[in-house]
Amino acid sequence: MSRILVTGAAGFLGSHLCDALLADGHEVIGMDNHVSGRPENLEEVFYHDRFVFYEHDVTEFIHISGEIDAVMHLASLASPVFYREHPIKTLKVGALGTHKTLGLAKEKDATYFFTSTSEVYGDPEVHPQSEDYRGNVDPYGPRSCYDESKRYGEALIRAYRDQHDLDVRIARIFNTYGTRMRLDDGRVIPNFMKQALTGKDLTVFGDGSQTRSFCHVEDLVDGLLTLLESNIDTPVNIGNPDERTILELAELIIEVTNSDSEVTFEPLPPQDPEVRRPDISKAKNKLNWKPKIDLYEGLNSVVPYFEERASL
């Protein structure tokens, strides 16, 4: 059994990670300031005898008594709605939050785990994207607060690894979906699900030919835990390489929800990436990990969750 701190524990991904860590027998310290995370995401584990929760902003000094074996820094405003509304908070959690959690890991001699993002590749000119691609990011663009917060976080982690011999892991996460996603977070699957389940037309930006690759949260968490248990101290892509157009995704969601909705088209937002697909060769070869849940199966499995919330 290990004692593990998870920041961003009340978020979509953080709460699923807490579930998995507890199921594996670990002791979990959850931390969140509830800017975008929700207390109900932790309802199932809140009174677990191996779980404790601290409401705390990770950009402030962090004190945890006792030994810690791993610090998993997931706190971030990852959805477009929230990082556009809180650009300074987004940058601070990537810079100050990463600095504070790195300091804690150094103090406790703990493994440090950072969830980075496929957004470090920007609007990629190389396809699919492997970890050695340096990206095409506008540092002064409309998405830069999120992209640069993660790029800076990676650079800071590299510095701590090299200067303090800190044991580190970096997961570059691609688009993920599942239960506990917020319907109002601006990401495409919650948007489409809400529209389809309430009988509204699905809003596709541009002509819908832009592509994304979607990974079910169970596969994603499995990838994170596999990486944590490895000794790989360089970035690893974790995602599903099954690439789909946004129009194809819209049609698939209409099918799995049995909706009468149609598709409408609106202008493409500025600097919306044209393509996004992970090269997961490194994860396959070094972690023996790959996703198992296909998109049709995964979307079907989350319809009841979105159906319940769309009716509220």
Which distant-in-sequence residues (6+ apart) come within 8 Å of 28 by Cβ? 4, 5, 6, 9, 18, 21, 22, 45, 48, 50, 51, 52
The residue among 247, 272, 275 whose CA lies nearest residue 262 is 247
Residues in the chain, total: 312
146 is a catalytic site residue: yes
Query: What is the rounded CA–CA span in Å between residue 225 and residue 194?
Result: 31
Q: Are strands 243-245 and 211-213 parallel, antiparallel or unpaired?
A: antiparallel
Backbone angles phi, psi at 224, to 5 degrees: -65, -45
Backbone angles phi, psi at 119, to 5 degrees: -65, -15
> Can you name the residues that pair with 237 across neighbouring β-strands?
172
Cβ neighbours around 92 below 10 Å, total: 19
Catalytic one of 146, 152, 177, 296: 146
Contact present, 147 and 137 (Cβ < 8 Å): yes
Q: 122: phi > 0 → left, psi -120 to 50 → alpha, else beta; which?
A: left
Residues noted as catalytic? 146
